[in-house]
């Protein structure tokens, strides 16, 4: 594992050391030919040479370093690398960072120990950045940084772990995406099913409402028909009564009433209800009513002829006579009855 306990002061110190080493390397190249095997005095341990085969990658950096960087001259690369270190652009952004500039320099000057040392110093920062990109699931950036690390040192011990981390991270993200997609799909299906059920319920309610409306219309039509039939029957009874009355010979009213009364045989003649106010006041009286009995024996009409006292017992007398029932007769009969009201009875 990498030591991730690096602090900002140390991070800033490394670019400064790299600048000093880079400057020392430049002085060395100006002071002696490239074929001189002895290192220049004061160049420091960073200038120590090593066999080219042990540090130079077998593959080129074309797939990692941008073509624009590769097309730069040695001096431009050195200046750009120095400026990137001053700006703390050690490994990012892509195409404008110190690691890419030094990789391009290493391709152009594979024997430059200072460039190799700078890449070695930049490697831990790039490793940490790759791991952080993986942790935040920025997999394209993590893969770019891993490619840089692999070009710097293909045998870096952390490479297998970093690659595995990216692979596992991508697979985990894909799994989560698939699970979320499946979850959303199920939610959509459940919502669609709910919509279907709601539509069925609405259709059922609409059908029930329509059926209730039709039943109400049928009941209203039947009620109107019954009312019309009753009206016609009442009109016919009244017409029959008038016709019968017109056909009877004229007789004095008292005699006609007496004759009619003699032919009526009561079946039920309930007594009238005593008005509560009159009962409390101890009021007594009588009401003379005229009633018409239909052929079926029911009272079809009644009216008050005389009341004593007036308007005290009238209503109850009329209500009582409407409930009277007689045996059927051949023709409607009009007669008179006196209803007495006494608190003691």
pLDDT along the chain (345 residues), means of 10: 34 44 38 30 30 36 82 96 96 95 96 95 96 96 96 95 95 93 92 90 89 88 87 84 67 56 88 93 95 96 96 95 95 95 83
CA–CA separation, 102 vs 79, rounded Å?
A: 11
CA–CA separation, 38 vs 261, rounded Å?
A: 162
Query: Among 62, 65, 63, 21, which residue's Cα sits nearest to residue 43?
Result: 21
Beta strands in the chain, from DSSP E residues, in sequence order? 266-268, 285-293, 299-308, 325-326, 333-341
Amino acid 56: pLDDT: 34
CA–CA separation, 72 vs 104, rounded Å?
A: 8
Pair 274, 316: CB distance under 8 Å: yes
Q: Kindly compute the dihedral angle of the four CA atoms of residues 215, 218, 222, 227, in this order, to the nearest 10 degrees.
A: 100
Superfamily of the domain at 253-341 = TonB (3.30.2420.10)
Pair 338, 304: CB distance under 8 Å: no
CA–CA separation, 12 vs 19, rounded Å?
A: 11
Parts of the chain belonging to CATH 3.30.2420.10: 253-341
* Helix, strand, or coil (residue 339): strand
Pair 130, 146: CB distance under 8 Å: yes
C-alpha distances (whole Å) from 341 to each of 74, 127, 283, 284, 287 are: 139, 120, 8, 5, 8
Amino acid 30: pLDDT: 35
Burial of 202 (0-12, 13-18, 19+ CB in 10 A): exposed
Query: Who contacts 19 (Cβ-Cβ below 8 Å, separation ≥6)?
Result: 82, 85, 86
Query: Among 51, 104, 113, which residue's Cα sits nearest to residue 79?
Result: 104
Residue 343: what are its φ and ψ, rounded to 5°?
-60, -25
Going by their DSSP bridges, the two strands 325-326 and 299-308 should be labelled as unpaired
């Amino acid at each position: 594992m990498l030591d991730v306990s690096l602090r900002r002061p140390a991070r800033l110190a490394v670019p400064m050391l790299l600048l000093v080493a880079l400057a020392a390397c430049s002085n060395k190249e100006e002071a002696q030919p490239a074929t001189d095997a002895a290192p220049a005095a004061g160049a420091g341990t960073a200038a120590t040479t090593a066999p080219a085969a042990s540090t130079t990658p077998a593959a080129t950096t074309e797939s990692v370093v941008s073509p624009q960087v590769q097309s730069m001259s040695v001096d431009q690369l050195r200046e750009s690398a120095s400026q990137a270190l001053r700006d703390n652009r050690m490994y990012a952004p892509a195409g404008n960072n110190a690691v890419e500039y030094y990789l391009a320099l290493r391709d152009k000057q594979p024997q430059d120990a200072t460039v190799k040392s700078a890449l070695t110093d930049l490697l831990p920062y790039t490793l940490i950045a790759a791991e952080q990109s993986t942790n935040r699931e920025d997999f394209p950036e993590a893969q770019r940084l891993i490619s840089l690390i692999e070009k710097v040192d293909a045998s870096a011990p952390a490479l297998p772990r970093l690659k595995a981390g990216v692979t596992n991270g991508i697979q985990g993200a894909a799994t989560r995406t698939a699970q979320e997609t499946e979850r959303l799909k199920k939610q959509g299906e459940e919502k669609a099913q709910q919509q279907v059920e709601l539509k069925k319920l609405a259709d059922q309610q609409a059908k029930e409402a329509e059926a209730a409306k039709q039943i109400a219309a049928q009941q209203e039509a039947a009620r109107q028909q019954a009312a019309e039939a009753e009206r016609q029957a009442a009109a016919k009874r009244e017409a029959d009564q008038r016709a019968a009355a017109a056909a009877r010979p004229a007789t004095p009213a008292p005699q006609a009433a007496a004759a009619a009364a003699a032919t009526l045989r009561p079946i039920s003649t309930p007594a009238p209800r005593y008005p509560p106010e009159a009962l409390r006041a101890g009021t007594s009286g009588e009401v003379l009513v005229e009633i018409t009995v239909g052929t079926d024996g029911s009272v079809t009409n009644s009216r008050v002829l005389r009341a004593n006292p007036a308007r005290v017992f009238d209503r109850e007398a009329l209500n009582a006579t409407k409930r009277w029932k007689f045996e059927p007769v051949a023709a409607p009969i009009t007669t008179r009855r006196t209803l007495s009201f006494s608190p003691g009875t």
